[in-house]
Amino acid sequence: MSLDEELIQAVRRDYTTANLDDADRALCDYVALLTRHAWKATPAHLERLRQVGFTDQAILQINLIASWFNFINRVADGLGVGRQE
């Protein structure tokens, strides 16, 4: 969570070029992996999160929240929710 508007806009444009600390970058990398290619996740991805300070409980929470948002967005997209046609 940040009130730094410049950082917020940089993350919105492309988190990979934003000035993030190691933990935030690892979190974003993991969430992007889950969103785009979840089947490619390996124990090494989880270990990277541990290396930057996330506990197993935090990793589970990251996974569950990202997965839930992905699920809900796909449900909404599949039903055309919010689509202007």
Q: What is the pLDDT of residue 82?
A: 82
What integer best gives the mean pLDDT of the chain? 94
pLDDT surpasses 70 at 23 = yes
Distance CA 7, CA 34 (A): 23
64: amino acid identity, one letter: L
Please give the torsion angle defined by the CA atoms of residues 10, 68, 59 and 5, in that order, rounded to the nearest 10 degrees.
20
pLDDT digits (tens, 9 = 90+) for 44-74: 999 999 999 999 999 999 999 999 999 999 9
Q: What is the pLDDT of residue 38?
A: 95
Mean of the pLDDT values across residues 16-27?
A: 95
Mean of the pLDDT values across residues 29-40?
A: 96
Record the pTM.
0.85
CATH architecture of 21-79: Up-down Bundle (1.20)
